[in-house]
Chains A and B, each alone.
Chain A
């Protein structure tokens, strides 16, 4: 039925009969370059999805590191004494007990857990290989500490207490490497945000250019509407609606393609390994919803860009 209607409409056009469905006073939907503009918006949205996806993944990764290590300390009783000699397992066990007692006595400490030999081996095995025998291998003593208040003063006090027990005991507050990693992820997130901003600005420039070219193409018709008393907003609305429809079509295609690409990347990357260091590339619901809202943002940008461009050009008319 639709095919028949379409055939009749084609015939009508050849006979100089107008289509019944009037959508615009100006023939904007028939202008050259419409397909190119849709493609451009689709590509821009695709890039925005990728940039935002990367930003969200980095954000989740940084948050996981920060929350996982927040208020947590690790105390290490090294297997090697200063000077090169090895400490016996019984010495390590004795120092571990003594250190744990000292830690528990501090009001800033919430829990103290001496890690068993099996736990220490499990921590080391990913770095040394599963097949390695731990027989005769000197292992340090490790104590996991959770603080009630992880202030720098409290950590410094604990460090002082531990030095009183043994000069070799080392307290790792993780802050040094965590700070560097968080700085790096912060910089990457900033770069992703900057890329998204550049994409938005490029889209605005492309829409504004396309609208200007359409206004030039239909200058006589726009002038006629103006002379017939059409307000600036009446004329602007036509261009706004045109830009909005183009942007919606492009943005939906771009978001769908970007979402698919992120899904494929997530599936191929798996769960980020067992170490928990690498990010899980599956986005959360909140982030997926944000990506779904991208077409709305693209439409808003396109609509506003068209509006301001048309108003500026109309302001030059008498």
Chain B
């Protein structure tokens, strides 16, 4: 699904914020991306959602090297990725409904299908009564749920979420993590950047730990135990 080989990233002429990143994410896997603040989680996420090009190294996504890919092919790859940005990045002039509908409109889906799918998902994330609301008038939690709904509406093959439960209360946070789990069971590869030890312990998926610009993969003990017990 995703393969990074000796990937480095620097901004301008500054030092490398990511150095020699090597990892492979298999299709249908679920990983947490964690590390101290400033370790480069958001930078690594931006490389994964093709928001930046690496300064060096090779990035392979969906079995194809993106380093020399043409623009239309990059757009097609991006359409298969759902992203929940840390700062939500909702379009402020569009309603919750239109924000969530955006990925489907980009894919050119019929308006009837868009209406029913978006309404259903907004109901599910608890925004059924607020679908015509504009983002500037929403609470942080409502904006976050809208952003998550937008990221998953087109059933992406890869879902990247940057602190997706940061502004949510425990109940809604747990519910959304369950949604991610469901998507993962349906085949979506998921990477969630988070600081929350509670969530990582609760859901027990492998962790990509970023430290000092480098990355290591950790398999949590309870995840191994659950795997042995046949939970997955």
Q: Give the B-binding residues of A (Cβ under 8 A).
A: 12, 15-18, 20, 22, 25-27, 30, 220-221, 224-232, 234, 315, 318
| 19 pairs of residues in contact across A and B, judged by CB atoms under 8 Å | A16-B138, A18-B132, A18-B134, A25-B98, A25-B102, A27-B93, A221-B91, A224-B91, A226-B78, A228-B83, A228-B102, A228-B103, A228-B106, A229-B80, A230-B75, A230-B106, A318-B50, A318-B53, A318-B74
Docked Cα-Cα span, A315 to B71, in Å, equals 8
Q: A224-B91, A227-B78 are in contact. Are A16 and B102 (CB under 8 A)?
A: no
Docked Cα-Cα span, A27 to B89, in Å, equals 15
Interface string of B35-61 (1 = CB under 8 A from A): 000000000000001111100000000
- B93/A30 in contact, CB under 8 A: yes
Note all chain B residues with C-beta closer than 8 A to A315. 71
Number of inter-chain CB pairs below 8 Å: 72
- B105/A25 in contact, CB under 8 A: yes
- Interface SS of chain A: helix, strand, loop or mixed? loop
For the complex of A and B, 8 pairs with smallest distance between CB atoms: A16-B137, A18-B95, A229-B79, A229-B78, A27-B93, A231-B75, A16-B134, A230-B106
Docked Cα-Cα span, A231 to B79, in Å, equals 9
Note all chain A residues with C-beta closer than 8 A to B134. 16-18
Note all chain B residues with C-beta closer than 8 A to A230. 75, 106
Within 8 A of A (CB), among B103-124: 103, 105-107
Docked Cα-Cα span, A26 to B106, in Å, equals 13
Docked Cα-Cα span, A258 to B78, in Å, equals 49
Known: A224-B89, A229-B79, A234-B106. 5 other contacts (CB 8 A): A221-B91, A224-B91, A227-B51, A227-B78, A232-B75
B83 to chain A, nearest CB (A): 7
The yes or no answer to B81 lying at the interface (CB within 8 A) is: yes
- B75/A17 in contact, CB under 8 A: no
User: When the two chains form the complex, which single residue of B51, B93, B105 contacts A318, counting CB atoms closer than 8 Å?
Assistant: B51
Residue on A nearest B78 in the bound complex, by CB = A229
Note all chain A residues with C-beta closer than 8 A to B93. 18, 27, 30
Q: Give the A-binding residues of B (Cβ under 8 A).
A: 49-53, 71-72, 74-81, 83, 89, 91, 93-95, 97-98, 102-103, 105-107, 132-134, 136-138
Note all chain A residues with C-beta closer than 8 A to B105. 25
Residue on B nearest A234 in the bound complex, by CB = B106
Q: A16-B133, A17-B133, A227-B78 are in contact. Are A22 and B94 (CB under 8 A)?
A: yes
User: When the two chains form the complex, which single residue of A229, A231, A232, A318 contacts B103, counting CB atoms closer than 8 Å?
Assistant: A229
- B52/A229 in contact, CB under 8 A: no
Note all chain A residues with C-beta closer than 8 A to B107. 229
Docked Cα-Cα span, A26 to B137, in Å, equals 18
A220 to chain B, nearest CB (A): 7
- A25/B94 in contact, CB under 8 A: yes
Note all chain A residues with C-beta closer than 8 A to B103. 228-229
Docked Cα-Cα span, A232 to B50, in Å, equals 15
B180 to chain A, nearest CB (A): 19
Docked Cα-Cα span, A234 to B103, in Å, equals 12
User: When the two chains form the complex, which single residue of B53, B76, B133, B136 contacts A229, counting CB atoms closer than 8 Å?
Assistant: B76
Note all chain A residues with C-beta closer than 8 A to B136. 16
